[in-house]
């Protein structure tokens, strides 16, 4: 596999190349560049209430949205991006990031679509890989992770990975007929370096 620094020259990456971007051999989790074939596997999941879980709307992303990202000239950038999450050879979900109006800050997200893959630390391991990837290869100073009130798993994920609780966005997300508060968590670049110095990986 080519060095990551070469693949991400100028902070861009062609997601049509179905390459492993980063992985953790200790748990078998891999973040893999999207392809049209992967998108076609994801779409039935995002149209299933069981697969997206209680804190996402059905079809929260459409096939046309994913394909538009694939065709973008600047798909690996500070603006937005997606990676498929694999455990060994099984596709189980996606992670994503996007610019959200705060300078040099990105918002992250994860959805483990396969219900049998939940509760095994895969979401935490996937976000940990993404945090390392973005801080290492993009010139960002802050990553943000929003948690719908009541989503105890996502709250645990944020705290386990060294994110700091910042406050509440009241009624910040509309899900299945109700407005839910959002808990806001963030990690700064300096927090990331301190976290790594202390050996916090989210795998223990």
pLDDT of residue 57 exceeding 80: no
Whole-number pLDDT of residue 203: 59
Could you report the per-residue pLDDT of 4-34, keeping only the tens digit for each?
333 333 333 333 334 667 888 888 999 988 7
Q: Per the domain annotation, does 203 fall within a domain?
A: no
- The Cβ of residue 116 has, within 10 Å, a number of other Cβ atoms equal to 9
Could you report the per-residue pLDDT of 138-191, keeping only the tens digit for each?
889 999 999 999 999 999 999 999 999 999 999 998 888 889 999 999 999 999
Q: List the domain range (segments joined by +) for residue 104.
A: 4-197
- The Cβ of residue 169 has, within 10 Å, a number of other Cβ atoms equal to 14
What CATH number is given to the structural domain containing 31?
3.40.630.30
Q: Per the domain annotation, does 121 fall within a domain?
A: yes
pTM confidence score: 0.82
Q: Per the domain annotation, does 202 fall within a domain?
A: no
Task: Provide the domain count of the chain.
Answer: 1
How much is the average pLDDT of 95-108? 90
């Amino acid at each position: 596999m080519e060095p990551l620094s070469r693949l991400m020259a100028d902070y861009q990456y062609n997601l049509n190349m179905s390459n492993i971007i980063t992985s953790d051999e200790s748990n078998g989790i891999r973040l893999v560049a999207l392809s049209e074939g992967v998108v076609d596997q994801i779409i039935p999941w995002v149209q299933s209430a069981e697969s997206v879980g209680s804190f996402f709307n059905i079809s929260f992303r459409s096939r046309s949205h994913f394909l538009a990202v694939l065709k973008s000239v600047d798909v690996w950038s500070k603006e937005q991006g997606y990676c498929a999450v694999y455990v060994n050879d099984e596709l189980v979900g996606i992670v994503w990031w996007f610019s959200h109006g705060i300078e040099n800050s990105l918002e992250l997200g994860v959805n483990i679509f396969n219900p049998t893959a939940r509760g095994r630390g895969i979401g935490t391991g996937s976000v940990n890989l993404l945090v390392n990837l973005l801080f290492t290869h993009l010139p960002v100073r802050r990553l943000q992770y929003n948690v719908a009130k009541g989503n105890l798993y996502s709250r645990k994920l944020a705290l386990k990975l060294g994110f700091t609780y910042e406050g509440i966005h009241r009624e910040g997300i509309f899900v299945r007929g109700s407005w839910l508060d959002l808990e806001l968590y963030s990690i700064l670049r300096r927090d990331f370096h301190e976290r790594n110095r202390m050996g916090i990986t989210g795998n223990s």
